[in-house]
Structure 1
């Protein structure tokens, strides 16, 4: 951990310790109120039911003339968390927040049953969850409100909310206590509503294209489908080692063998890797596979899905990582080697010259440390990652990856050293990976063996030989193309978020 990180953590801990006595005192006071409630009956009853959400009320009645609204005398039953409370003698104004928004309650002593009912409400705390019945009206300031005839405590809040005007400014606390973040940060709530819409639109886009949704194992006896280090666990009853999946790919392609010609899965993958702005050990991907298609078809589908999601959200362009991204224009397509040659024209024609590429890598890449098993393709990809990847601002498909780094992709018919594979980059970040699938069982075995050798040589991300998958290929898999899209990164782009933690409800954190 860097000194800066350590200093920041120490400062946060000191700040938290300084606020603990005040927080503890407030909790004590709130608990005393709870004990009074317990003495009067059940404190956490489950009897309140609503008939309107705040969003529905604003949608239906927000533009109604005050006099017309008064004549309607429309009664509503609402509930929500108290976010503001202003007491003015015999009357109070309370702002409550439910899952869809906020609305104001006007509470008058006489209207709710006298001082015996009204006075206790003046001692309620911000964060308490209330239920209220009343009629809709417009206040003198023009705010749609509920004139309360009945109000009650639904659930007592024992911890104080963050300060009204500062919100939850501590980033670490926002991630650790997402429930508080969602209470007080409207932007966070909107981000996760958008995430839900993105997943829904993604599913609709695939179903419209006649893909069927399936589920494949999370626990696998042989990890595969990607180059990544897996999480390992143990099944006691079977006394066997199992792995959390790093990708569903090999199981989805087994389904192609079985006759399901268009399949997809939206679900979690797990990779035992570091945490940074774009990586979390548990993340969401969509993978889809189509028989009788190649990587060009897969790029078309990927571009169409992303543009369809953007259209569904009403987004034509978005600013992400300081880049104005135009999603309405066709995505650029360029070969990986050509993208490197644009930066280093002297390498043109030398894409398979391992010695030369290794020398250039040592010149161009700080602290370069290749593995002993690397081939020419590994060095070419390393140059791409150093010279090109971070500068791909607008949506760009990088195609024709070397065979050396693509163990599951089909070789190109005309160039056996490259594959019919692509990756999609936006604002310098990988968004999708896809290719024409390798369905030659003998070629696949050879590449699995090469991966196993790399694993034995110390490559922790290399996979072994999956004999059952090879057996499936021997039954014959139709020519096909497949794609994996990072859902979290897609949401990051569409909501303009910098960190993957801002689009994960509960990101992984170090223990407190």
Structure 2
């Protein structure tokens, strides 16, 4: 089999699947004024050889903001498959440029995206098998679990009882002594959660072919809605394959003032931790001001999906 052929097969399979569901394939600009606001995700800034200086332009870390702009224009079921760029160290599961699949459904909730994922993964697996690509599974098997259930199962803690930063800090300090803690004032609640998650919970996910982890604690809401019947959690899910995270989905927040407040907090964290700030997320704010319909969306790493489905150790275009 030719080099990169499995990557091209899964790329075509993805497009076939979404075409069969009457999605519209769209493109978004990779050069943007705001690349994404996540505290710990770092963009590449563009440098102008003509002006001899950095410009207030970046390679996007996700097409999300422009996809939401399209939703505000009345587009409904849309997807894009293109490269995203993040300034992070290379690893076995990540490169500085990688293929990202992102799709959105307007007037749908994130439970429908869960179903999309199960169908899409099965479709891609069958396509790879039909092309004689060696695969890791005969069929796709999903397990669903809330974050609270995962913590209770693997560390015996109800994480939703520890939504106060000081309470969570004391829990880790007293009960998980192998986890190294920095000074209390240097850590956010999110930092503490991921210290416990990455050290004590996530390593157990290797036993699952595909684990759909949903209802994250409310402090991790990012761009997602809060669950009305339980405001301790947000409507967000991630999928892991044998311990590797593949994708991240939100039931999308549509309130502009709430989104501005969340981004203001993330901007402060980025400045405090990394010493830089980004321009305002004007494209997203304009979409929210115009009116974003109730919707759900997801970002998926295509190379990671391919590695999970097929016996391929490095599908990245190096």
TM-score, normalised to structure 1's length?
Answer: 0.56
Shift of 1:234: 2.9
Q: CA deviation digits over 1:159-193, x for unaligned, max 9?
A: xxxxxxxxxxxxxxxxxxxxxxxxxxx5xx2x621
For each residue in 1:11-41, what CA deviation from the matched residue of structure 2 results, as whole angstroms up to 9, or x when unmatched?
xxxxxxxxxxxxxxxxxxxxxxxxxxxxxxx
Give 1:73-152 correspondences, 5 Å limit: none
Give the structure 1 partner of residue 162 of structure 2: 351
Give the superposition deviation at 1:335: 1.1
Question: Relative to structure 1, is the Cα distance of residues 342 and 462 closer, same or farther in structure 2, using a 3 angstrom cutoff?
Answer: farther
Distance in structure 2 (CA, Å) of the matches to 1:307 and 1:462: 41
Instruction: Decide which structure has the larger Cα Rg and report it.
Output: 1
Structure 1, unmatched stretches of 5+, are 1-185, 320-324, 508-512
Cα drift, residue 382 of structure 1: 3.0
Select 1:413's aligned residue among 228, 234, 243.
228
1:342–1:264 Cα change, 3 Å: same
Work out the CA distance in 2 between the residues paired with 1:222 and 1:383.
31
In structure 2, stretches of 5+ residues that fail to align are none
Query: For residue 403 of structure 1, what is the aligned residue in structure 2?
Result: 218
Could you say which residue in structure 1 is the equivalent of 2:126? Answer: 311
**Aligned mates of 2:277, 2:302 — CA distance in 1:** 24
RMSD between aligned residues: 2.6
8 Å CA contact 1:284, 1:486 repeated in 2: yes
| 1:200 equivalenced with 2:15 (yes/no) | no
Q: Is the 8 A contact 2:27 2:80 kept in 1?
A: yes
Residues 373-393 of structure 1 deviation map (CA, whole Å, 9 limit, x = unaligned): 754454234322222222213
* Number of residue pairs matched by the alignment: 309
The superposition leaves residues 55-79 of structure 1 with CA deviations (integer Å, 9 ceiling, x where unpaired) of: xxxxxxxxxxxxxxxxxxxxxxxxx
In structure 2, the residue matched to 1:285 is 100
**1-structure distance, mates of 2:32, 2:127:** 36
Q: CA offset at residue 229 of structure 1?
A: 0.5
Q: Is the 8 A contact 1:339 1:384 kept in 2?
A: no
> Cα gap change, 1:248/1:242 in structure 2, threshold over 3 Å: closer, same or farther?
same
For each residue in 1:188-214, what CA deviation from the matched residue of structure 2 results, as whole angstroms up to 9, or x when unmatched? x2x621211100010111111111111
Confirm or deny that 1:243 pairs with 2:65. Answer: no
What is the TM-score when the length of structure 2 is the normalising length?
0.88
Question: Where do residues 427-506 of structure 1 align in structure 2 (5 Å cutoff)?
Answer: 427-459=242-274, 465-498=280-313, 502-505=314-317
SS in 2 for 1:438: coil
| Contact 2:212/2:240, CA 8 A, preserved across alignment | yes
| Pair 1:210-2:25 in alignment | no
Are residues 347 and 262 of structure 1, via their aligned partners in 2, closer, same or farther at CA, if it must alter by over 3 Å? Answer: closer
Q: Distance in 2 between matches of 1:370 and 1:483?
A: 35
